[in-house]
């Protein structure tokens, strides 16, 4: 099966923190040109800082800019099932390729609650739904057995694992091998090549915002059967990840690194990372090291 990469696209902002749609469209073109697909309104897209209407307008702009040249997944997940379904139906109307649903945050959920939540969303739309697990941010975790139960739903097509634990990813991959049509996408950027080797359908990467060609290079080499080249590109990707993420909160650092490469992307919405000259200099040194500026 041909593997694929999605980039969890940044949302670009103007100085007054309104969405800069022109700059966001430019980032879409940059990723599509590299050969990557798009996930919008995800963790790296400041989704928690976007209003309902902004998420809809953002998705409309991304789908319009992609114009069928790549696949688009959008995150509809919110704490309450009610609003998640409302958003998912809007994305269904717009015509995306997949609707990701992050686990509810702030609200503590039982595994049964998660089954009811994801099933209700999947029942409400025609677009395939993808589970999205990132327990460090939401405090709710989709247990592998819960993923297995949900994999039997006719409109749940897979899962994005952003937990960072290799054993959990291995368990999800086992579900993918057992349940036909249940695709597993790796979120941790240091496990892209490993996950492909172990049956993942692909990856959804935040770091790909900064290194689109390297991310695409891992996928391209793997699909061509050139494991040595895929490993070489993964080493670059992993080393950059270690250097950058050592400075703090990954999504804010990705956005700041991209800003130092192209200031049209703007800053993150507050109260995320504020511009800091000392930290900017450290980020710039990393960008210079990898010949990105």
Asked whether the whole model's pTM tops 0.75, one would answer yes
Which residues carry a binding-site annotation for pyruvate?
204
Q: What pLDDT was estimated at residue 250? A: 87
Q: What pLDDT was estimated at residue 100? A: 98
Q: Provide the phi-psi class of 158: left if phi over 0, else alpha when psi is between -120 and 50, else beta.
A: left
- Say how far apart CA 238 and CA 191 lie, in whole Å: 8
Q: Are 71 and 256 in contact (CB under 8 A)?
A: no
Name the residue with tokens 């899962």: 159
Q: What percent of the chain has pLDDT over 90?
A: 91
Catalytic residue positions, numbered: 132, 160
Q: Provide the phi-psi class of 222: left if phi over 0, else alpha when psi is between -120 and 50, else beta.
A: alpha
Q: For the segment 39-79, what is each residue's pLDDT rounded down to a tens digit?
A: 999 999 999 999 999 999 999 999 999 999 999 999 999 99
Which residues carry a binding-site annotation?
204
Q: For the segment 23-41, what is each residue's pLDDT rounded down to a tens digit?
A: 999 999 999 999 999 999 9
Number of domains in the chain: 1
No. of helices (H) and no. of strands (E), the chain? 12, 8
Q: Is a pLDDT exceeding 80 seen at residue 252?
A: yes
**How does residue 164 score in pLDDT terms, banded at 50, 70 and 90?**
confident
- Say how far apart CA 188 and CA 207 lie, in whole Å: 9
Domain that holds residue 46: 4-290
**Residue 125's CATH number:** 3.20.20.70
**According to DSSP H, which parts of the chain are helical?**
21-34, 52-66, 81-94, 111-124, 135-138, 144-151, 166-178, 192-197, 212-223, 227-245, 250-261, 277-289
Q: What pLDDT was estimated at residue 136? A: 85
Rounded to 5°, angle at Cα 77 from 73 and 80: 160
């Amino acid at each position: 099966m041909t593997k694929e990469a999605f980039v969890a696209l940044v949302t670009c902002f103007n100085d007054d923190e309104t969405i800069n749609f022109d700059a966001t469209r430019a980032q879409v073109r940059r990723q599509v040109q590299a050969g990557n697909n798009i996930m919008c309104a995800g963790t790296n897209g400041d989704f928690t800082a976007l209003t309902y209407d902004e998420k809809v307008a953002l998705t409309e702009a991304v789908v319009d800019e992609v114009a069928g040249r790549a696949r688009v997944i959008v995150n509809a997940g919110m704490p309450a099932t009610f609003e998640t379904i409302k958003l998912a139906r809007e994305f269904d109307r717009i015509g995306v390729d997949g609707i990701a649903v992050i686990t509810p945050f702030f609200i503590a959920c039982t595994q049964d609650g998660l089954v009811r939540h994801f099933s209700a969303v999947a029942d409400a739309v025609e677009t395939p739904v993808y589970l999205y697990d990132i327990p460090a941010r939401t405090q709710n975790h989709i247990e592998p057995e819960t993923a297995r139960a949900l994999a039997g739903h006719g409109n749940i097509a897979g899962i994005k694992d952003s937990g960072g634990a290799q054993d959990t990813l291995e368990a999800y991959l086992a579900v993918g091998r057992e349940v036909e049509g249940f695709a597993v996408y790796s979120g941790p950027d240091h496990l892209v090549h490993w996950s492909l080797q172990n049956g993942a359908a692909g990856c959804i990467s935040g770091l790909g915002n900064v290194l689109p060609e390297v991310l695409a290079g891992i996928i391209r080499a793997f699909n061509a059967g050139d494991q040595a080249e895929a490993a070489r590109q993964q080493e670059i990707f992993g080393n950059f990840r270690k250097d950058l993420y050592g400075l703090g909160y990954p999504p804010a650092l990705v956005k700041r690194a991209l800003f130092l490469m192209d200031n049209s992307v703007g800053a993150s919405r507050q109260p995320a990372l504020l511009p800091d000259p000392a930290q900017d200099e450290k980020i710039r040194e990393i960008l210079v090291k990898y010949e990105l500026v």
